[in-house]
């Protein structure tokens, strides 16, 4: 029987469990909020708050104790430089558990374990958010080869003359020839003066 044996085993041996608590507590201090299961959150919450209490103390011995457990100098520096001073006037209760529903894979109850300082949590989330992708830049060669507009042609007289000459040449090539299409039909030949009128044209008596 496990009489007087506080804490959860979590299916791990003591070394693995200690490393898990160290990683979860360090992630909470670094990011301000982590997503995990209810059991792990309840197990690591008091340990993370002990680390924040050490950060509030700020002396050398507290720093050495935090370094021995968290195993990361960067996280310990952030704990004593940023997180600890934020909770200087708060005697405990530095974190909270927010349930977010079951996990799709195995239906394990998931939660957010986060610090109660909402400003710090929001700042950390903004730092982790990737910047929007920059707009596509047009290559310089493509920009140089762009066709000239009419306004640019007017500003350059030589270019405008070349454009007019090319337009006239194209119009002449497209126009039909006068001999083939525009010839008018010839009129009927008028009768000669000496010709006698036909019999049908004579007046009746």
By percentage, how much of the chain surpasses pLDDT 90? 52
Enter the DSSP assignment of 85: H
pLDDT computed for residue 167 by the predictor: 62
User: Is the pLDDT score of 179 beyond 80?
Assistant: no
Phi/psi for 35 (5° steps) reads -110, 120
Higher pLDDT, 49 or 205: 49
d(CA 184, CA 204): 40
Question: Of the CATH numbers 1.10.10.10, 3.30.70.370, 3.90.1030.10, 3.40.50.300, which one belongs to the domain with range 14-128?
Answer: 3.90.1030.10
| pLDDT-wise least confident of 45-54, 102-111, 156-165 | 156-165
User: Is the pLDDT score of 205 beyond 50?
Assistant: no
Going by C-alpha positions, the residue among 12, 14, 49 that lies closest to residue 29 is: 49
Mean pLDDT of 63-87: 95
Token readout for 55 is 């950060």
Cα four-point dihedral sign 49, 51, 54, 55: negative
pLDDT computed for residue 186 by the predictor: 56
Query: What is the distance of C-alpha 49 from the center of its chain?
Result: 36
d(CA 31, CA 123): 9
């Amino acid at each position: 029987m496990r009489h007087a044996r506080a804490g959860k085993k979590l299916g791990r041996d003591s070394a693995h469990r200690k490393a898990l608590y160290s990683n979860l507590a360090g992630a909470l201090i670094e990011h301000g909020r982590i997503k995990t299961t209810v059991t792990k959150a309840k197990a690591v919450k008091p340990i993370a708050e002990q680390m924040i209490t050490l950060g509030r103390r700020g002396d050398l011995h507290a720093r050495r104790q935090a370094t021995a457990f968290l195993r990361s100098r960067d996280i310990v520096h952030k704990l004593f430089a940023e997180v600890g001073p934020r909770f200087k006037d708060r005697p405990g209760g530095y974190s909270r558990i927010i349930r977010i529903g079951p996990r799709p894979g195995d239906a394990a109850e998931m939660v957010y374990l986060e610090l109660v300082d909402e400003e710090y949590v929001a700042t950390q989330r903004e730092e982790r958010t990737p910047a929007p992708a920059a707009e596509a830049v047009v290559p310089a060669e493509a920009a140089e080869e762009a066709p000239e507009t009419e306004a640019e042609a007017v500003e350059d007289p030589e270019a405008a003359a070349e454009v007019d000459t090319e337009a006239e040449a194209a119009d002449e090539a497209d126009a039909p020839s006068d001999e083939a299409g525009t010839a008018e039909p010839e009129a009927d030949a008028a009768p000669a003066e000496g010709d006698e009128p036909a019999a049908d044209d004579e007046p009746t008596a």
